[in-house]
Amino acid sequence: MRMAKAAAASSSLVWFLSVAALIHTRTVLSSTASSRCYSAIYSFGDSIADTGNLYYDTEDISPSTYLVLNPPYGDTFFHFPTGRFSDGRLIIDFLAEQIGVPLLKPYLGIKKGKIKDWNSLEGVNFAVGGATALDMSFFAEKGLYDVLVPTNYSLGVQFDWFMDLLPSICNSSSGCKQVFGSSLFLVGEIGGNDFNYLFYLGRPIEEATTYVPLVINKISWAINELINLGAVTLMVPGSIPLGCNPAYLTLLASPNKEEYDKAGCLKWLNKFYGQHNELLQIELDRLRVLYPHVNIIYADYFNAALRFYRSPQQFGFCRDFIKVCCGGGGPYNFNETAVCGEAGAIACDDPSEYIYWDGYHFTEAAYRWMAKALFHGPYTFPKFSFSCITPETSADFNNHLMI
Structure confidence at residue 152 (pLDDT): 81
Over residues 34-62, the mean pLDDT reads 84
CA atoms within 13 A on the CB side of 145: 13
285-315 exposure pattern, b = at least 16 Cβ within 10 A, e = fewer: bebbeebeebbbbbbbbbbbbbbbbeebeeb
pLDDT, tens digit (0-9, with 9 covering 90-100), for 205-218: 999 999 999 999 99
In 3D, which of 92, 115, 112, 116 has the Cα closest to residue 104? 92
Q: What per-residue string of b and e applies to 131-147 under the rule 16 or more CB within 10 Å gives b? A: bbbbebebbeeeebeee
What confidence tier does 3 reach under pLDDT thresholds 50, 70, 90?
very low
* Residues 312, 35: Cα–Cα separation, whole Å: 32
Q: How far apart are the C-alpha atoms of 179 and 254, rounded to whole Å?
A: 51
User: How far is 345 from 333, CA to CA, in rounded Å?
Assistant: 9
Instruction: List active site positions.
Output: 47, 358, 361
pLDDT higher than 50, residue 27: no
Kindly report the average pLDDT of the chain as a whole number: 86
- pLDDT tens-digit series, residues 254-311: 999 999 999 999 999 999 999 999 999 999 999 999 999 999 999 999 999 999 999 9
Q: Cβ contacts of residue 359 below 8 Å, gap of 6+?
A: 245, 246, 247, 250, 324, 327, 332, 334, 339, 340
Between 91-99 and 391-399, two packed helices, what is the crossing angle to 10 degrees? 150
Q: 3-state DSSP call for residue 145?
A: helix
Express as a percent the part of the chain with pLDDT over 90.
69
Average pLDDT of the residues in 1-26: 41
Distance CA 56, CA 114 (A): 8
Residues 311-346 pLDDT 10s: 999 999 998 888 999 999 999 999 989 999 998 899
Residue 32 has pLDDT above 70, yes or no: no
Q: What is the DSSP string of 361-390?
A: SB-HHHHHHHHHHHHHSS-EESPP-BS---
Measured CA to CA, the distance from residue 136 to residue 102 in angstroms comes to 32
pLDDT at 338: 92
State the Cα angle at 219 between 99 and 67, rounded to 5°: 70
Could you tell me the strand order of the sheet in which 380-381 lies?
123-125, 40-44, 183-187, 233-237, 295-299, 380-381
Rounded to two decimals, what is the model's pTM?
0.88
Enumerate domains of the chain plus CATH numbers: 38-398 (3.40.50.1110)
